[in-house]
């Protein structure tokens, strides 16, 4: 079975509220994926994503009934830490986590749409660069942007990357891409809903690291 389809995001209810427990269970699988990318270069990214999931889970577990949706966590933190909010707690962790999720979304969408460098069709640099420019670059200063350029050289080949999404099975590329498209449906809806929540609550910050 495809790694992606084993870990699909659930459909959201009409009010687009995101159940914290379900969300945490689903995103918890993403970091293990980095082990399939075949390079230690991605370890800091994996730690950053895992760290943010752990931070959100830590707060959720303090009061699962109170923090039943992601929005309820942001509202509670806005009330409790008026001076520092939104640069605090799970609000800050999810602010960054959603950017990583958006990166993955744009990269997978670009692959599914067949965007490629015709001169190097087995490289995914175009897809990764597009994702980086749209999801993360503006939040990174000069140093981190340089790290990104270095990490880009460790990006796997397109064929190997697609194979790793299929747990190493020899599935045909079109089957794998169909799985990616299927995965992207609820995934994109969820990521969009988180972005919308940050906009609506005026919780977005644009400082650089
Ligand atoms: C800020 C910042 N986090 C952190 O400082 C940076 C960490 C590492 C950045 C490395 C740059 C390179 C990125 C791109 C490389 C791509 C190569 C891909 C090739 C395939 C925040 O950290 C903390 O998070 C927050 O908790 C803290 O409190 O100011 C706050 C304080 O600082 C980030 O910039 C987030 C980085 C997220 C990167 C996500 C990249 C995903 C990369 C690859 C995905 C591969 C596809 C996966 C498909 C999976 C399908 C299942």
54-92, pLDDT tens digit by residue?
A: 999 999 999 999 999 999 999 999 999 999 999 999 999
Q: Answer whether 131 contacts ligand 1 (Cβ < 6 A).
A: no
* pLDDT tens, residue by residue, 8-56: 999 999 999 999 999 999 999 999 888 878 788 899 999 999 999 999 9
Average pLDDT over residues 89-114: 98
Question: Is 0.90 topped by the overall pTM?
Answer: yes
* Predicted local distance difference test score (pLDDT) of residue 3: 79
If one residue of 59, 96, 135 were mutated to test the ligand 1 pocket, choosing by the most ligand atoms within 8 A of its CB, it would be 96
Q: How far apart are CA 188 and CA 63, in angstroms?
A: 28
Say if residue 1's pLDDT is above 60: no
Q: How close is the Cα of 14 to the center of ligand 1, in Å?
A: 30
Sketch out the chain's domains with CATH numbers.
Answer: 5-200 (1.10.3520.10)
For residues 19 and 190, the answer to whether their CB atoms sit within 8 Å is no
State both tokens at 39: 């390079």
State both tokens at 174: 């079109």
For residues 184 and 101, the answer to whether their CB atoms sit within 8 Å is no
* Predicted local distance difference test score (pLDDT) of residue 4: 86
Q: How close is the Cα of 120 to the center of ligand 1, in Å?
A: 25
Q: What angle do CA 71, 59, 47 make, to 5 degrees?
A: 100
* Predicted local distance difference test score (pLDDT) of residue 34: 86
């Amino acid at each position: 079975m495809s790694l992606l389809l084993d870990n699909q995001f659930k459909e959201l209810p009409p009010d687009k509220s995101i159940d914290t427990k379900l969300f945490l269970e689903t995103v918890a699988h993403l970091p293990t994926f980095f082990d399939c990318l075949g390079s230690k270069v991605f370890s800091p990214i994996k730690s950053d994503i895992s760290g943010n999931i752990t931070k959100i889970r830590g707060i959720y577990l303090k009061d699962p009934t109170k923090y039943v949706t992601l929005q309820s966590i942001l509202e509670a933190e806005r009330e409790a830490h008026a001076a520092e909010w939104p640069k605090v707690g799970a609000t800050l962790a999810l602010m960054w986590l959603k950017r990583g999720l958006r990166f993955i979304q744009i990269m997978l969408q670009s692959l599914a749409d067949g965007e490629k460098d015709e001169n190097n069709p087995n490289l995914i640099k175009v897809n990764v660069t597009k994702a980086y420019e749209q999801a993360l670059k503006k939040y990174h200063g000069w140093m981190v942007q340089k790290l990104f350029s270095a990490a880009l050289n460790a990006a796997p080949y397109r064929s190997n990357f697609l194979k790793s999404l299929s747990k190493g099975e020899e599935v045909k590329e079109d089957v794998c891409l169909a799985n990616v498209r299927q995965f992207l449906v609820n995934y994109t809806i969820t990521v969009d809903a988180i972005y919308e929540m940050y906009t609506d609550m005026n919780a977005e910050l644009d400082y650089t690291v």
